[in-house]
Amino acid sequence: MKVNRFNTDNDSRHDRLVKILTDAKEAGVNILDAFADAEEESRKEGLKSQGLRLSRVQKPELTHLLGLRPTKEGYLLHPHGCDHPSLWVDENNVPQVFVFQPYQLSYEEIAKNVELCESHGLEMNISATNSWHCAGKTLLVEITKKGANINEK
């Protein structure tokens, strides 16, 4: 059995899965979409394990995180490059994390989001490994109030 950089413990299940995925890909199955389906719920557990749940808000905005009311005219505060947004609240229904999951973010969008966060006392964390919307194709961007330490709960 060949050891490679993704199978350093020489697990035979890894090799079997690679074979299954290779066969599926050759048969025309979109294995990235299958991976996304398999990972979606377990990746949401990261926030759920911190005592958070998905808000029922129809159109999540940063205004919710800041305790402001959105206007009917549109978004008061929406991050640049925002796609697939969600708002995560604690047990008291208080917004704790604004999440969006874009397929890409440009340098300019990241820079503008840094400015947006700085001007409103927010922090932004970007992960390439934790997104659940189309996992493997999207980024997970979490925006919290500065000092919230959501990931330490």
pLDDT of residue 5: 72
Q: What is the mean pLDDT of residues 112-140?
A: 94
CA angle 139, 25, 5 (to 5 degrees): 60
Flag whether pLDDT at 29 surpasses 70: yes
Q: What is the mean pLDDT of residues 96-120?
A: 97
pLDDT of residue 75: 59
Answer with the residue of higher pLDDT: 46 or 126.
126
Q: Residue 93 carries which DSSP code? A: S
Let me know: does 150 contact 144? Beta carbons within 8 Å.
Answer: yes
Q: Is 39 exposed, middle or buried (0-12, 13-18, 19+ CB in 10 A)?
A: middle
Answer with the residue of higher pLDDT: 75 or 29.
29
Domain ranges of the chain: 41-152
Q: What is the dihedral of CA 22, 23, 25, 28, to 10 degrees?
A: 170
As a whole-number percent, the residues of the chain with pLDDT over 70 amount to: 90
pLDDT of residue 126: 97
Q: What's the rounded Cα separation, in Å, for the pair 122 and 113?
A: 10
Tokens of 72: 């009917």
pLDDT of residue 153: 44
Q: What's the rounded Cα separation, in Å, for the pair 124 and 27?
A: 40
pLDDT tens by residue, 45-65: 888 999 999 999 888 989 999
